[in-house]
Amino acid sequence: MKIKINIESEIGELEGVILHTPGPEVENMTPENAERALYSDILNLSVAQKEYSSLRGVLEKVANVFQVKNLLEDILLMPNVKNTLINKITDGCKAGTVRNYLLEQPANLLAALLIEGVPRQKNSLTSYLSKHYFTLEPLHNFFFTRDASSAYLGEVFVNRMANPVRKRESLIMESIFDFHPNFIAKTVNPEYSRSFDPNVTMEGGDILIARKDILLIGTGSRTTSQGIDYIAQKIESRETVKNIIVQELPKSPESFIHLDMVFTLLDNDACMLYEPLILTDNKYKTLNLTVSNGKIISISEEKNIPQALSKLGMPLQQLHCGGKQTHNQEREQWHSGANFFAFAPGKVIGYERNSHTLEELNKNGFAIIPASEVISGKEDLNKHKKVVITIPGSELSRGGGGARCMTMPVSRKKL
């Protein structure tokens, strides 16, 4: 099955999506290395997998679902791809001592090692005395497939992520899009730029496609202004791109790491937002970058994202994460209450734990349906114009993300 990369919106009917079911790499975390792995706590893998199966099961009902590990295994059967990827990974992770070991592995075992990590061999005094259990660290965050790459129209940005511990995720996704026969895509990687700026970082959780001609991008601890400048340079020559709305984000607490933790699109005319940051007057700016003829020709300050979108002919009904009470808003935003993934206009997936957010959605015409009823076939999604499919998330949410974070769409129908 060949899929031509085509993403023009956040809400178009989903045709293809890439997931990574959390595996042993999540269990290969200890309290000592959790912070380095960008976690504040360690997850219970068996519970996380059970919860994740609800997300995967729903998506398998509505679209073609690809798994990172399977895609990686496929391309590792190609000797040239295998050699090149191993060299990039071992050089980038300063793990040259395991290069030959990795080259000797068959594709299925190698795919597992590149994701789950390579334990340190105690074959020298240095390795024996080392306090690090792994030579090649596990990719604890890879089930958040949103961040390492971002599809826009027919291209895929290979994101240069803020923390070097996640670099391997980007290398793997780049190789998949470059070489897997299932995908027709052009990759764009800032590290290959002639004028490469080491300050460039960007992550998929910060990049939203409001409309074919409007991007929303958050800037904070993960995506830098230099990263946004790079994206603008790469898309500014497109006649379809006219505006990039930039939202400054707090660098702490960790629940604000990406724009999609405080703002997501639900339908052609509706959004979910975290009111205290998006609507309330504060020090975090909202900017509109106008792009034309190969240049950013103007930058203007806006009151907020919804107002900026309204000026561009995209008025949105504003639904509030956590409802109307501040303490509910804060509590549910912390557990990814604003982080929804749309698989069609008005049809979204989110955590069942955020009851006040779900009540807000229900009051505004969204039917609330548990994932189990969709997976079992009890519910026909075609009967609903607006619906929220709820997935369990007591464990997954502790990883710091929601349904949008865990999905990397590769093809959607045009609106």
pLDDT at 34: 47
pLDDT tens, residue by residue, 48-59: 999 999 999 999
Q: How far apart are CA 17 and CA 63, in angstroms?
A: 7
Q: Does residue 230 carry a pLDDT above 80?
A: yes
* Angle, CA of 12, 50 and 392, to the nearest 5°: 60
The residue ranges of DSSP E strands in 159-262, in sequence order, are 183-184, 186-188, 207-211, 214-219, 243-248
- What distance separates the 2 farthest-apart alpha carbons in the chain? 66
Superfamily of domain 3-410 in CATH is L-arginine/glycine Amidinotransferase; Chain A (3.75.10.10)
- Percentage of the chain modeled with pLDDT above 70: 93
Domain definitions of the chain by residue range:
3-410
Burial of 263 (0-12, 13-18, 19+ CB in 10 A): buried
Count of other CB atoms within 10 angstroms of residue 400: 23
Q: Cβ distance 62 to 377 under 8 Å? A: no
- Amino acid at the residue 292: S
pLDDT at 325: 95
Q: Does residue 298 carry a pLDDT above 80?
A: yes
The residue ranges of DSSP E strands in 223-309, in sequence order, are 243-248, 263-267, 270-273, 286-292, 295-302
- Which is nearest to 205 in space by CA: 399, 2, 359, 4? 399
Residues in Cβ contact with 192 at an 8 Å cutoff, skipping those fewer than 6 apart: none
- Amino acid at the residue 317: Q
Mean of per-residue pLDDT scores for the chain: 93
pLDDT tens, residue by residue, 129-178: 666 778 899 999 999 999 999 999 999 999 999 999 899 999 999 999 99
The pTM assigned to this predicted structure is 0.95
